[in-house]
Structure 1
Amino acid sequence: MSSPSPKPLTIWCNAKFSDDVSRQLEEGVGALGHRLVFSEFCSASVLDAGKPDPLLATADVALGQPDVAQCMSLPALRWIEVTTAGYTRYDREDFQDAIRARDGAFTNASHVFAEPCAQHVLAMMLAFARQLLPSHRDQLSDRSWHYFERRYDSRLLNGETVLMLGYGTIARRLTELLAPFGMRIVAVRRRAISEPGVHIIPEDRVSAALAGADHIVNLLSDNETTRNYVNARRLSCCKPGAKFYNIGRGTTVDHRALVDALESGRLAAAYLDVFETEPLPPADPLWTTRNCYITPHTAGGRRDQDAAIVRHFLENLAAWTRQKGGGMIDRIV
Structure 2
Amino acid sequence: MSHTIWCNAALNERAEQMLVDGAMGHRVIFAKERLASVLKAGKSDEGIAEADVVFGQPEPAECLQRAKIKWVAVTSAGYGRYDTPEFLENFKARGSVFSTSSTVFAEPCAQHVMAMMLALGRQLLESYAEQRGDKQWKFFERRSASVLMNGQTVLLLGYGTIARRLTELLAPFGMKIYAVRRKAHSERGVFVISEERVTSVLGEADHVVNLLPDNEATRNYVNARRLAACKPGARFYNIGRGTTVDENALMQALENGKLGAAYLDVFAEEPLPSSSRLWTTRNCFITPHTAGGRSDQDVALVKHFVGNFKKFAEGETGAMDDRVV
Offset, 1:245: 0.0
1:180 and 2:172 matched: yes
- Rounded Cα–Cα distance in structure 1 between residues aligned with 2:161 and 2:267: 21
Deviations 1:210-244 (A, max 9, x none): 00000000000011111000000100000000000
- Rounded Cα–Cα distance in structure 2 between residues aligned with 1:322 and 1:197: 36
Q: Aligned to 2:208, what secondary structure does the other structure show?
A: strand
1:211 to 196, 200, 203: 203
Q: Aligned to 1:133, what secondary structure does the other structure show?
A: helix
Q: Aligned to 2:219, what secondary structure does the other structure show?
A: coil
Offset, 1:325: 2.6
Normalising by structure 1, report the TM-score.
0.97
Partner of 1:15: 9
Q: Aligned to 1:238, what secondary structure does the other structure show?
A: coil
Paired letter, 1:75:
A
- Rounded Cα–Cα distance in structure 1 between residues aligned with 2:21 and 2:280: 49
Paired letter, 2:289:
H
Offset, 1:248: 0.4
Partner of 1:293: 285
Partner of 1:133: 125
Offset, 1:326: 2.1
Offset, 1:23: 0.8
Query: Which blocks of at least 5 consecutive residues in structure 2 are unaligned?
Result: none
1:27 to 6, 21, 25: 21
Deviations 1:253-293 (A, max 9, x none): 00000000000000000000000100000010000000000
> Root-mean-square deviation (CA), in Å?
0.7
Paired letter, 1:114:
A
Query: Which blocks of at least 5 consecutive residues in structure 1 are unaligned?
Result: 1-6
Paired letter, 1:28:
G
- Rounded Cα–Cα distance in structure 2 between residues aligned with 1:225 and 1:48: 22
Paired letter, 2:311:
A
Q: Count residues with an aligned counterpart.
A: 325
Q: Aligned to 2:78, what secondary structure does the other structure show?
A: coil
Offset, 1:21: 1.1
Partner of 1:234: 226
Deviations 1:68-127 (A, max 9, x none): 000001111000000000000000111112211221100000000000000000000000
Normalising by structure 2, report the TM-score.
0.99
- Rounded Cα–Cα distance in structure 2 between residues aligned with 1:21 and 1:224: 35
Paired letter, 2:8:
N
Q: Aligned to 2:104, what secondary structure does the other structure show?
A: helix
Q: Aligned to 1:243, what secondary structure does the other structure show?
A: strand
Paired letter, 2:220:
N
1:104 and 2:96 matched: yes
1:142 to 131, 134, 138: 134
